[in-house]
Amino acid sequence: MENNIRLSPDPSESAAALLADVEQDRSALIERMTTPRWVPPIFGAVAAICVASPAAGDNRSGNSTLLIIVAIIVVYLYHRATGVKLSHIGGTAWLIYAATLITCLTLLSVSLGLVSFDLYWWVLAPAAAAFGAGTLGTHFFLRSALRRIRHAS
């Protein structure tokens, strides 16, 4: 006698297979989610230019505004390039972002102080520091955001 009993698949096995597929797709998407390598140095260069601009005779108060606008654009472009909601990047990334911006604004104040004492060539020091802070800050911001997205559950 032949047994015509049809066994339905175990729902827990099919759910586990679906979850494994979703996790595999998520991992593949995260691996493709890379920011171009030129983004951190570009932000560092813009920060250095903003910090050095008082030595070139540009003593307008728009330097800090320009720096803040560029910082906002970097975050916006990150969102556009990756599609990641900014609320999902975590507090650590936002702290790095804020620390980088505050550091660059402080270096701009130092630059303005040096210019007020006619120490124009000394402005190169805070400008170089702003380049380093902007580049490293952006690099660690992006790395922290990506780490948070990878380990989000």
Does the structure show a pLDDT above 60 at 7? no
58 in a domain, yes or no? yes
12 in a domain, yes or no? no
49 in a domain, yes or no? yes
**pLDDT single digits (tens) 43-100:** 899 889 889 988 887 556 577 777 778 778 877 877 777 676 777 788 898 899 899 9
Does the structure show a pLDDT above 60 at 130? yes
**pTM for this one?**
0.72
Supply the range of the domain harboring residue 50: 36-151
Distances (CA, A) of 51 to 41, 54, 112, 131: 15, 7, 8, 9
- Number of domains making up the chain: 1
Please give the Cα distance from 133 to 135 (Å, whole number).
Answer: 6
pLDDT at 32: 62
44 in a domain, yes or no? yes
21 in a domain, yes or no? no
- Among 3-7, 57-61, 111-115, 133-137, which stretch is predicted with the lowest mean pLDDT? 3-7
If 0-12 CB within 10 Å is exposed, 13-18 middle and 19+ buried, where does residue 115 land? Answer: buried
Coil/strand/helix, residue 93: helix
Q: Which of 132, 139, 143, 106 is nearest to 44 (CA)?
A: 132
pLDDT at 10: 59
What phi-psi label fits residue 57: left (phi over 0), alpha (psi between -120 and 50 degrees) or beta?
Answer: left
- When the pLDDT of each residue in the chain is averaged and rounded to a whole number, the result is 80
H or E element in which residue 71 lies: helix 62-82
Does the structure show a pLDDT above 60 at 126? yes
pLDDT at 107: 95
**pLDDT single digits (tens) 22-43:** 777 766 666 666 777 888 898 8
pLDDT at 4: 57
Q: Higher pLDDT residue, 11 or 125?
A: 125
The helix-helix angle for 124-151 and 11-32 (nearest 10°) equals: 170
